[in-house]
């Protein structure tokens, strides 16, 4: 998870990859839109395969997070 950075000065504080201006959600949207890992890496040569792995790990961690409702 050390590849995921959050900086209020970069992309409005959304989770990004290694301080760059590409967000975790952008990578996830590309994957959800049927782009392959190879296509993403070809379109964004400054990304590494481990960056995509980090996005998936981050998403899995977030999906596992449970919210508790404080209202009845």
Helix (H) or strand (E) holding 5: strand 4-5
Q: What is the pTM of this model?
A: 0.86
Helix (H) or strand (E) holding 10: none
Task: Indicate the DSSP class of residue 28.
Answer: H
Residue 23 lies in a domain: yes
pLDDT at 1: 76
Residue 38 lies in a domain: yes
Helix (H) or strand (E) holding 67: none
What CATH number has the domain bearing residue 30? 1.10.10.10
pLDDT at 65: 81
Residue 69 lies in a domain: no
**pLDDT tens digits for the chain (72 residues)?**
799 999 999 999 999 999 999 999 999 999 999 999 999 999 999 999 999 999 999 999 999 987 766 665
Q: What is the number of domains present in the chain? A: 1
pLDDT at 69: 66
């Amino acid at each position: 998870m050390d590849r995921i950075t959050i900086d209020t000065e970069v992309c409005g504080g959304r989770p990004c990859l290694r301080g760059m201006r590409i967000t975790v959600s952008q990578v996830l949207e590309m994957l959800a839109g049927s782009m392959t890992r190879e296509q993403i890496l070809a379109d964004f040569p400054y990304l590494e395969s481990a960056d995509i792995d980090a996005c998936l790990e981050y998403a899995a961690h977030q999906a596992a997070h449970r919210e508790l409702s404080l209202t009845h």
